[in-house]
């Protein structure tokens, strides 16, 4: 299980860098015309930050806390996809309705941080 989350976290991290670079260069005019440069930057920041957290959680995965760490990782992946994904789509297409999905993704990211806090308090 830990290797799977390490792998997914590493792939999400690489995608964050690729998408961020693409946004900074190839999409710059589109983002400016949609007035969504900051939205794209926010999506990219949260994407990379939470990919790094996923790698860390995958690396520190403990068998005794398997259930909570599993759901923490699932919550991180879901949060990245919904939060950053919806903001990326909004930034590129200008579809403002996509902004309505970001808070749902944000809730998954918050839940992951809370699960991390809980797992830190549990004895091994």
Dist CA 63 CA 35 (whole Å): 46
pLDDT on residue 1 = 56
62 backbone φψ class: left, alpha, beta (φ>0; ψ -120 to 50): beta
CA dist 94 to 34, 41, 57, 88, Å?
A: 6, 15, 34, 10
Say if residue 111's pLDDT is above 80: yes
- Reported as a single tens digit per residue, the pLDDT across 51-82 is 999 998 877 766 666 777 889 999 999 999 99
Write a three-state SS string for the chain.
CHHHHHHHHHHHHHHHHHHHHHHHCCCHHHHHHCCCHHHHHHHHHHHHHHHHHHHHHHHHCCHHHHHHHHHHHHHHHHHHHHHHHHHHHHHHHCCHHHHHCHHHHHHHHHHHHHHHHHHHHCCC
pLDDT on residue 124 = 59
């Amino acid at each position: 299980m830990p290797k799977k989350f390490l792998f997914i976290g590493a792939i999400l991290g690489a995608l964050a860098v690729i998408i961020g670079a693409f946004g900074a260069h190839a999409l710059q005019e589109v983002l400016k015309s949609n007035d969504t440069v900051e939205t794209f930057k926010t999506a990219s920041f949260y994407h990379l930050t939470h990919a790094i957290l996923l790698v860390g959680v995958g690396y520190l995965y403990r068998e005794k806390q398997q259930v909570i760490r599993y759901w923490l990782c699932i919550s991180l992946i879901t949060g990245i996809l919904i939060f950053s994904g919806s903001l990326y789509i909004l930034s590129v297409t200008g579809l403002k309705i996509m902004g309505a999905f970001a808070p749902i993704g944000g809730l998954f990211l918050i839940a992951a941080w809370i699960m991390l806090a809980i797992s830190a308090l549990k004895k091994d």
